[in-house]
Amino acid sequence: MQNPFIRRLCAPLPAFALTCAVLVLAFSACVSTDTPTPTPAEARIPTPGATATPTAAVSALVPSASPTPTAAVSALVPSASPTPTAAVSTLVASATPTPTLDPNVVRNAYSVEADPDYEDGITGIYTRIWETDFRFHTVPYHEIVSGGVGRDGIPPIDEPTFVSLTDAREWLSDTEPVIALELHGEAKAYPLQVLLWHEIVNDELAGLPVTVTYCPLCNSAVVFDRTLDGTIYDFGVSGNLRNSDLVMWDRQTQSWWQQLTGEGIAGELAGAQLRFLPAQIVSWAAFRDGYADGLVLDRPGFSRSYGRNPYPYYDNLDSYPFLFYGEADPRLPPKERVAAVEISGDAAAFPYSVLATKRVVHSEVGGEDLVVFFEFGTGTALGSGTIAGAADVGATGVFRPVLDGDRLTFAFDGDGITDEGTGSRWNVLGRAVSGPLAGRQLERLNAQDHLWFAWAAFKPHTTVYGEG
């Protein structure tokens, strides 16, 4: 059967036909024939199944009757004929009940209204296999497009296995990129050579259920707490994209989720928000040296060409993104890497091209001080056909520059990053590796590395550091 990646890459425009043909020849021989068959085109029938009966949570949001003025309000209205005084009139006006929600409008537990005409907007995605309650959605359906593969055609990893640092040395090179996740003193590395072929890992770390995600088309590595309102959710690859970014689905409700933002965008959980967990893309060497007891995601039992990049030269700086139909923000090249941060609704992007020169940047986002570290030594997973030895694009870390209540000031001294107060040397993981503060750890902030076009599409009002 066809490689699902080839189907994805061939989907966008006729102009890519020659590229797709080359990709077919290059990769068809190295991918297992057990890849799930994409949903056939004739399945484009926007029928979600029987209309779902609102749950108790939904019903509770729909008032059954208009509220009756309370005794306190009634007491403020004089029963005698004289015209009420100004003071009384003011009190009566302020006590008027707020208009109630329309009892004829159905809402889900996150106050998203049911769309009775939702079928009119579903034009380019397959719905027959889904039990999703498509009445509820927070984005226009025309923004969601097929990625060329069926549901879980890119298979997520549900039962991950891990190996020691020693064992991982046998198949990881020093500069290979990994997603580094640390919680409560426990650390795991998720190599991008594995995530390129699976995109989602449902895992647990330090007793917390987590979902580790990576969208190659946006270079977006995002980690979530997969517990929401007391329920643990298992996520998969829907086969669809929005703004070229992975649309996930959960197996419990079949709701759809935007990977870059963590928002439920369709289904019973539309409007819900997953909690981000701070993580970084760093080199295998940086992780290995920083976490002596760390574990590494092993290659799963799929017939895949781990170590090969199925998206060769995708991150060429000025090339246009696949399956992105918006207008790329012209402030930066579409595929410029950025360290992206959002705090209290204030979004900022720190271009790698600037960080590579400065190496340390102090800034403020959403009223909070932060510091961005940049360190060379991490290769791209989206360059040449082989990940080992790929071009060095560097890595970033975003931290709160405070330790024991004292604000630290950092600088690059030509050899590395030091704090001006003690001269201690710090690595890209935010840890002091020598000097008086050796062993101390800065607080990581929620930040991700993205390709610029994707971050700007979801956060159009973002500030670009160094702009102007």
pLDDT in tens, 24-79: 333 433 344 343 433 333 333 333 333 434 343 333 333 444 444 444 333 333 44
Q: Indicate if the pLDDT at residue 336 is higher than 90.
A: yes
291 and 350 part of one domain: no
The per-residue pLDDT for range 129-150, each reduced to its tens digit, is 999 999 999 999 999 999 999 9
Question: Which region among 93-102, 132-141, 378-387, 432-441 has the lowest average model confidence (pLDDT)?
Answer: 93-102
153 and 209 part of one domain: yes
Q: Indicate if the pLDDT at residue 85 is higher than 70.
A: no
Q: How confident is the model at residue 390 (pLDDT cuts 50, 70, 90)?
A: very high
pLDDT, position 8: 60
Length of the chain measured in residues: 468
Determine, yes or no, domain membership for 78: no
279 and 419 part of one domain: no
Say how far residue 100 (Cα) sits from the centre of its chain: 35
Q: Indicate if the pLDDT at residue 92 is higher than 60.
A: no
The per-residue pLDDT for range 244-257, each reduced to its tens digit, is 999 999 999 999 99
159 and 240 part of one domain: yes
Q: How confident is the model at residue 342 (pLDDT cuts 50, 70, 90)?
A: very high
The per-residue pLDDT for range 166-181, each reduced to its tens digit, is 999 999 999 999 999 9
User: Which range scores top for mean pLDDT: 74-83, 92-101, 350-359?
Assistant: 350-359
The per-residue pLDDT for range 274-318, each reduced to its tens digit, is 999 999 999 999 999 999 999 999 999 888 999 999 999 999 998
- Our CA dihedral for 177, 207, 202, 55, rounded to 10 degrees, sits at -140
Strands (E) located in 216-288: 220-225, 227-228, 231-232, 235-242, 245-250, 256-258, 263-266, 275-277, 280-283
- Number of structural domains (the chain) is 2
Nearest to 111 by CA among 260, 268, 271: 271
Q: Indicate if the pLDDT at residue 6 is higher than 90.
A: no
155 and 250 part of one domain: yes
Handedness of CA 403, 404, 409, 415 (dihedral sign): negative
Domain that holds residue 159: 4-44+115-297
Q: Indicate if the pLDDT at residue 369 is higher than 70.
A: yes
Question: Which region among 131-135, 268-272, 302-306, 331-335 has the lowest average model confidence (pLDDT)?
Answer: 302-306
- Our CA dihedral for 73, 77, 79, 85, rounded to 10 degrees, sits at 160
363 and 235 part of one domain: no
Q: Which of 297, 324, 345 is the last residue of a domain?
A: 297
36 and 185 part of one domain: yes
Q: Is 446 exposed, middle or buried (0-12, 13-18, 19+ CB in 10 A)?
A: middle
186 and 39 part of one domain: yes
pLDDT, position 123: 81
What global pTM score does this model have? 0.80
How does the average pLDDT of the chain come out, rounded? Answer: 85
154 and 273 part of one domain: yes
Q: Which of 245, 280, 297 is the last residue of a domain?
A: 297
Determine, yes or no, domain membership for 224: yes
152 and 243 part of one domain: yes
